[in-house]
A and B are shown apart, each in its own frame.
Chain A
Amino acid sequence: MKELENTELIDKELIFLDYEVKNKEELIEKMVNYAEEKGYVKETFLDAVLKRECVFPTGLKGEKLTIAIPHTDSGHVIKPGIFFARVKNSVIFKEMGLGINDIEVKLIFMLFIKNPKEQINMLSNLMKIFKQEDRAKILLNSANKNEVYKTLVEIIE
């Protein structure tokens, strides 16, 4: 079986810029509904990812950047991918770890993990964003979807 290239996980159809939502729940629901339409996840994904976010929140705080990486068990995933959304107004996620701190997040990377063993690099590459200020700036500010796409590919490859 051919191993999936990390960059194949990025797709222009899975990039939302300046998405307007009221809160985290609405954001997750809209993203998941869209992903379900596009054939990435099963209908069980929404419930699973919302529940998991309550028990094991996925907000992450670096020195200069906060992100969230909502995800859930691979059994709810049909096709692997990374769904990137930038929201217009920050939404509140709980920080991973103790799950006590609220953090404001503008960049959300929803992970569709199908084969955990193959996708370890994907997440560790994604974490490099905390050290790549220039790329983080593009993800935070660019209105150009192609540029955002290119930047995501560079981060993840």
Chain B
Amino acid sequence: MSNQKRIYVACGSGVATSQTVASKIESMIEDEGLSAVVEAVDIKSLESIIDQCDIYVSIVSDGSLDIDKPTINGLAFLTGMGLEEEFEKLKEYIEE
């Protein structure tokens, strides 16, 4: 069944932190035997593509953006603070 969830990770420029968090998430879900599409995106282009995403991983905040998607805290995947908790949430969203 190809009902893969799409996970978007957004940061200010889509180059550094979002790529790093995306690749970390990719390897963590792979280790768990789960599968999902993980993409690093630029927050400026997020609004136009947010409908295509199932789970949003937030690294920076853009007050003007109202995101009506399951959201997890991407900073945990950078610093390790609260990582297990956020990853548990992510796994639940993926398996939903």
Q: Could you tell me the distance between the alpha carbons of A123 and B74 in the complex, rounded to whole angstroms?
A: 14
Which of A29-37, A66-74, A149-157 participates in binding chain B? Answer: A66-74
Q: Could you tell me the distance between the alpha carbons of A99 and B15 in the complex, rounded to whole angstroms?
A: 19
Q: How many A-B residue pairs have CB under 8 A?
A: 67
Q: Tell me which of B19, B20, B79, B81 has the highest count of chain A C-beta atoms within 10 A of its own C-beta.
A: B79
| B 36-47 binary contact with A (CB < 8 Å = 1; else 0) | 000000010000
Query: Which B residues touch A69, using CB under 8 A?
Result: 16-17
Query: Which B residues touch A55, using CB under 8 A?
Result: 12
> Are A123 and B61 within 8 A (Cβ)?
no
The chain B residues found within 8 Å of chain A, CB to CB, are 11-17, 19-20, 23-24, 43, 58-61, 73, 75, 78-81
The chain A residues found within 8 Å of chain B, CB to CB, are 52, 55-56, 60-63, 69, 71-74, 96-99, 111, 113, 116-117, 119-120, 123-124, 127, 130-131
Query: Can you pick out 9 interface pairs between chain A and chain B where the beta carbons lie within 8 Å of each other?
Result: A56-B12, A60-B78, A62-B81, A96-B17, A96-B75, A116-B19, A120-B20, A123-B17, A127-B80
